[in-house]
Structure 1
Amino acid sequence: MLVDASKPCWACRKGRLICDFTKPACKKCQTRGTECPGYDAKPLVWIPNGTVKSKRRKNDKNQPAAKPKKQPEPEKQVELEEPKKQNLPKKKESQQVEPQDLEAASETSNAMIEQPARLLAKRVKLKADLVILSYEVVEYLNVRISPNAVAASDGPENPYRFPAEVASFLPFSMLYTLSCVALSHRIFQLQPGEHRSALTMRFQEHRGAAIRAISGGIQEQADQVNDETLFSVLTFLLSEVSGPQAQTIVSPTLSVDGSRESSPESVDDEPPPAAASSWRQHVDGAAAIIEMRGGLPELVVTRPSLKPLLTYFIVVDVMSGTTSPPLGPKKARRQLEILSVLPMIYGDGLLTSNPCPPELFALIIRINHLRSVLKATPVPADSFMPSVTELLNQVTSFSPDIWAAKTAASQAISSSSSRIEELDAVPEPAQPGGAARYAQSREFLNWRRLATVYKSSTALYCILSLIGSETSMPGSASKADPLELKALFQRTLSQNLRELCIARETRSDQMRRLVMWPLAIAGTQLEKGHDQMKDLVRRELHWQSVELGTSTPLVIREFLERLWAHGPEVDPEMHRTAWDAMFDKPYAFAV
């Protein structure tokens, strides 16, 4: 583009100074210590927000600024009319410019018009992409994830289903958090050999966007504890527990028959490696928000839509306390407060993928609390033995038959929606003959095996964490009781796991999804000579990871492999693993 030599640079023109017309930069500007903006396009200068830059900002406050100048307008019009006629030829001469100047001016004008349109189109496209993403995420959650979020058969009453009409109204924090859940699920459902790197990169992008959105909401005073923030924090917690970033994932793979193989060289053939998880911090953060909202009882009553997520929150909080070092006093008391609202939030436990019977779930909370007290109280451990014995007696007195009959009956009622008129005729399981009606059904037998699995796991946890870690049963005559009970419940647990997972006549894929925590408890007690049971645990954990789309089974497998390879720390008096010393950090082996 040709530049008129009679035009000074923009800096000299603005300051009304004499320019030397040096190209590409004026030397006068260099002498003054300023950067020459050049001769072509006028430079744009960004002014900070709140700054006013105007030639008329210093008007006299005592005199009107505009009215006196507008009074002689007729005279000015008369004076301007005549020079226009006289200078008409000169004006025509000044309009003779180079074609390059016209082309450049046209390009500048087009750019000024197209830039806002381009920005608007980008915003519209971004909004459209987010709407499409929201519908894809909601559909994936409803079709692939929600059915496995409940223990019973999936149906319209599943509380984890999202209405499709709310998809386009999801806030950013909820949208990106739910997309993390969906992407994480898809990553772990991919078969070996399929590339995971693209999905993993996308997951990390959405995870970062979710963290920024949640942090922005927490920083705003009005949004710190609202429903959107609490929903996003609880959902992000579940994503952190079960996602690719949960904990270090075991490197060996499993063949179809459950035997160990070496890891392939390609990282795309294995689930992506994970960094240290901060899920425990998210549990504490969610607990703080819940406390600021009035506590669990207040939230369950005033915000029933949050009840499904609150149920999973207490499952993660309570069950992670079993596979962790003893809780601190504050966290243990927080769990103990759940007991008052447990029937209202947890119910029968069937609306989770960890359907521990509510009676046993309450006992696990009390065991967690007693572990914390034993660690924090400097008194002889024998003084707590009555409480330990009471807890163990309550665990052993739990009846899997009664719970299985109730569960089978409730499932039969919910599945017979086409026979509403006959619901009143269904006998209650607690009545004589009520349980007998379902005693011979396959559903009842599977529910009874599942209840027995959780009963045996809870009893083992009680014995190993309270009697076998810091304390011992007083009196030599009673020292054999815990060992006998441990051996009994260990055999019962292994037998029922085989029946649910591998026995051709009794195997149930529905029940196989629900025994993640019992598999972890059973695996901690497998020593040399239990190779068949170890293979069963490996195979089932691998199957659960693919079936449920979660990293938790792989984390359990990694933990057990380390335990089996290095050997447990043996208590020479009780001849079993010291439970508290087994866990170097908190683990969540439940979802």
Structure 2
Amino acid sequence: MTATSRQLALAVGGPPQTEAQAHSQTGPSNRRRQCWECQRRRLVCDSARPVCAKCKTSGVVCPGYEDKKPLVWLAPGKVKTRTWKRKSPPTNKTKDDNSSKGDNKEQSGSELAKAVRSEVSGTRTDHLMHLFPGYELRDETCDVIEATLYWNEQVYPFFAANQLTNSPWLVPVSYIQYMGVTIQHTLVAMAINHRLLSLSSRKNDLHHAEVRARFHQHRCTAIQALNGEISHQNEKRRISDYTMAAVIVFLYADLMGSVTASNWRHHLNGFMAIIEMRGGLRSVCDAAPGYKTVILFCKIIENLANSTSPAYDQVSPLVNFEMRGLTQEIYETGYYPFLPCPVQLFIDIICVNRLRYLATQPESSDTLDSLQTEAEDLLERIIDFSPETWSAAKTESQEQFLTMAQVYQSAVVVFAIASLQSVCVIPASAGWRAVKTIHGSKLMALLEKAAGSQVLRSCVMWPMIVAGFEAKTGTAAVRSFVAKRLAEESVHLGAYLPLATKDILEKFWSSGKKDWDECFDTPYALVT
């Protein structure tokens, strides 16, 4: 029992007493009674209640003033005093010798155990690493609790303080005891990943490897639990709300880590399979408003991942286009963290991905002219979008929202032209090249402006990807700016994806390639 808990226990041990009652209980003989600790230390006790001032000042747990000396917990194997035995009659000398030998063995064993514990303790101290500030990792249960504290005391306050406006998607971790094994251990794995990435510039290799092993331990436990849910005999349990939530949390966790980021498609496909078994997207969203947050998270990852994937190898681009009305409805539920993209421009990204996909199909040669007409109409709509009108409807942070609307408008224009020219839907004419150059320069200037804002710097991940592609034909200073910002954001957000983006762009810059699909020649999910 700690000093604080002891004091609290003494303070609330009984109802308050009046002065007369206290006097009657202490009496003349007990008025200056010494506490047991002061007696042991041969000090003059001040007899203060509930604990004496000398014990409190020295940081010692005051044992109180009871008639009997209170029991004290000792470490296993530690012996403080021994009961002396009377000498037995001479006839029992053999028995006494055996007893003496037993005592000696016990004392010897105690000393040996103490030495071993001291050695082990010293070894552990040499290799101890405090992963989460202020907490020490122990067994799995402690890991879960400490990870929860880490999210609520380290990560959540940072996210909450760096939002343009309140977001319904940003909530602290609570009710951890009801989350189930999969989500609990996934949260621990996410916390470990976040902490390691945020400390990447000063990590120790030995400690990094040790904690990384713990990450895999929790991830393995989560996988086993999730497999148990998915393969359960009861179909309702296989497609339950908990299973859906567990898949989404696992998807987010895998996107945070360098080793697991490439698994994103498996999780998305599994999640959409559950959605289909439950009647489709519309049916799930109509069942309860809470499902919309989960659906939007998937749609943001899916559609932005499609933009950085080969045109022919996207995830359901036609279905996403058909469901764009539902996506817009969910998107307008509230501000999604670190993605202040106007909903009209987000829908335009979905439309661009559809045109890219259709252009790669065998029958596209017969409809190439119609695709070009549709693409040019789409580009005109994107260019005509008014950031001023959109930001004026905001009730707070209008200037910051205006900057973000301008950033995303220029980014979508550059993305649309570059990606559609990559599949020959938009001609490589001087007119479109000029439009792309103008918006590319504007985008870079706006990104430099956003980099100086604590709130806006983390809201431009997808535009930074587009600017990185355009930097291929830019100056070395522009490429250096993009690479530096991506490296900073990885540490700033505690996420791996900015580093993955940096590696992809640097590989593209050093190559002789120039098209969008040559840069993103493999499906990448680079934004969450």
TM-score normalized by the length of structure 1: 0.61
**What whole-Å deviation, never above 9, does each CA across 1:512-561 have from its counterpart, x for those lacking one?**
00111111111111136511111211121111101111000000000011
Deviation of the 1:332 alpha carbon: 1.3
Pick the aligned partner of 1:137 from 144, 147, 161. Answer: 147
**What whole-Å deviation, never above 9, does each CA across 1:446-479 have from its counterpart, x for those lacking one?**
2212111111111111111113432343xxxx92
Q: Which residue of 2 aligns with 1:214?
A: 226
Rounded to whole Å, the distance in 1 between the matches of 2:490 and 2:388 is 30
Conservation of the 8 A alpha-carbon contact between 1:542 and 1:553: yes
Deviation of the 1:327 alpha carbon: 4.6
2:467 counterpart of 1:522: yes
Pick the aligned partner of 1:466 from 412, 415, 420. Answer: 420
Q: Which residue of 1 aligns with 2:479?
A: 534
Residues 289/527 of structure 1: CA separation in 2 closer, same or farther (3 Å cut): same
Residues 555/405 of structure 1: CA separation in 2 closer, same or farther (3 Å cut): same
**What whole-Å deviation, never above 9, does each CA across 1:10-32 have from its counterpart, x for those lacking one?**
xxxxxxxxxxxxxxxxxxxxxxx
Conservation of the 8 A alpha-carbon contact between 1:179 and 1:206: yes
DSSP-derived class of the 1:508 partner: coil
Rounded to whole Å, the distance in 1 between the matches of 2:159 and 2:279 is 27
2:198 counterpart of 1:173: no
Rounded to whole Å, the distance in 1 between the matches of 2:393 and 2:509 is 39
Conservation of the 8 A alpha-carbon contact between 1:404 and 1:448: yes
TM-score normalized by the length of structure 2: 0.68
Pick the aligned partner of 1:199 from 201, 211, 215. Answer: 211
Conservation of the 8 A alpha-carbon contact between 1:311 and 1:346: yes
Deviation of the 1:158 alpha carbon: 4.4
Conservation of the 8 A alpha-carbon contact between 2:306 and 2:314: no
Rounded to whole Å, the distance in 1 between the matches of 2:344 and 2:165 is 24
2:286 counterpart of 1:301: yes
Higher helix fraction: Structure 1 or Structure 2? Answer: 2
Counterparts in 2 of 1:60-459, with a 5 A limit?
131-146=141-156, 152-153=163-164, 158-162=168-172, 164=174, 166-195=175-204, 196-222=208-234, 223-246=237-260, 277-327=262-312, 331-347=316-332, 350-376=335-361, 377-380=363-366, 381-407=368-394, 409=395, 412=396, 443-459=397-413
Conservation of the 8 A alpha-carbon contact between 1:349 and 1:358: no
Q: Which residue of 2 aligns with 1:49?
A: none
Q: Which residue of 2 aligns with 1:586?
A: 523
Aligned residue identity for 1:214: L
**What whole-Å deviation, never above 9, does each CA across 1:251-297 have from its counterpart, x for those lacking one?**
xxxxxxxxxxxxxxxxxxxxxxxxxx221121111111122222222
Conservation of the 8 A alpha-carbon contact between 1:316 and 1:588: yes
Conservation of the 8 A alpha-carbon contact between 1:231 and 1:309: yes
Rounded to whole Å, the distance in 2 between the matches of 1:523 and 1:209 is 38
Deviation of the 1:338 alpha carbon: 3.1
Which structure has the larger Rg over C-alpha atoms? 1
Question: C-alpha root-mean-square deviation of aligned residues, in Å?
Answer: 2.5
Aligned residue identity for 1:224: R
Gaps of 5+ in 2: 1-137
Residues 567/301 of structure 1: CA separation in 2 closer, same or farther (3 Å cut): same
DSSP-derived class of the 2:459 partner: coil
Residues 590/451 of structure 1: CA separation in 2 closer, same or farther (3 Å cut): same
Conservation of the 8 A alpha-carbon contact between 1:336 and 1:369: yes
Deviation of the 1:136 alpha carbon: 2.5
Aligned residue identity for 2:248: L
Deviation of the 1:578 alpha carbon: 2.0
**What whole-Å deviation, never above 9, does each CA across 1:361-386 have from its counterpart, x for those lacking one?**
00111111111111113325223111
**What whole-Å deviation, never above 9, does each CA across 1:337-366 have from its counterpart, x for those lacking one?**
331212332117622322221000001111
DSSP-derived class of the 2:360 partner: helix
**What whole-Å deviation, never above 9, does each CA across 1:129-178 have from its counterpart, x for those lacking one?**
555444323332233334566773576x64332463x1222210111122
Conservation of the 8 A alpha-carbon contact between 1:400 and 1:452: yes
DSSP-derived class of the 2:328 partner: helix
DSSP-derived class of the 2:202 partner: coil
Residues 295/355 of structure 1: CA separation in 2 closer, same or farther (3 Å cut): farther
Rounded to whole Å, the distance in 2 between the matches of 1:462 and 1:349 is 26
Rounded to whole Å, the distance in 2 between the matches of 1:329 and 1:534 is 27
Rounded to whole Å, the distance in 2 between the matches of 1:393 and 1:325 is 24
Deviation of the 1:328 alpha carbon: 5.1
**What whole-Å deviation, never above 9, does each CA across 1:43-101 have from its counterpart, x for those lacking one?**
xxxxxxxxxxxxxxxxxxxxxxxxxxxxxxxxxxxxxxxxxxxxxxxxxxxxxxxxxxx
Aligned residue identity for 1:310: I
Deviation of the 1:246 alpha carbon: 3.9
Residues 147/313 of structure 1: CA separation in 2 closer, same or farther (3 Å cut): farther
Conservation of the 8 A alpha-carbon contact between 1:131 and 1:167: no
DSSP-derived class of the 1:321 partner: helix
Deviating 4+ runs (over 4 angstroms):
128-131, 147-151, 327-330
Residues 303/213 of structure 1: CA separation in 2 closer, same or farther (3 Å cut): farther
Rounded to whole Å, the distance in 1 between the matches of 2:516 and 2:151 is 37
Residues 201/555 of structure 1: CA separation in 2 closer, same or farther (3 Å cut): same
Gaps of 5+ in 1: 1-127, 248-276, 413-442, 502-506, 569-576
Aligned residue identity for 1:512: R
Rounded to whole Å, the distance in 1 between the matches of 2:288 and 2:426 is 46
Residues 145/309 of structure 1: CA separation in 2 closer, same or farther (3 Å cut): farther
Residues 484/529 of structure 1: CA separation in 2 closer, same or farther (3 Å cut): closer
Aligned residue identity for 2:210: A
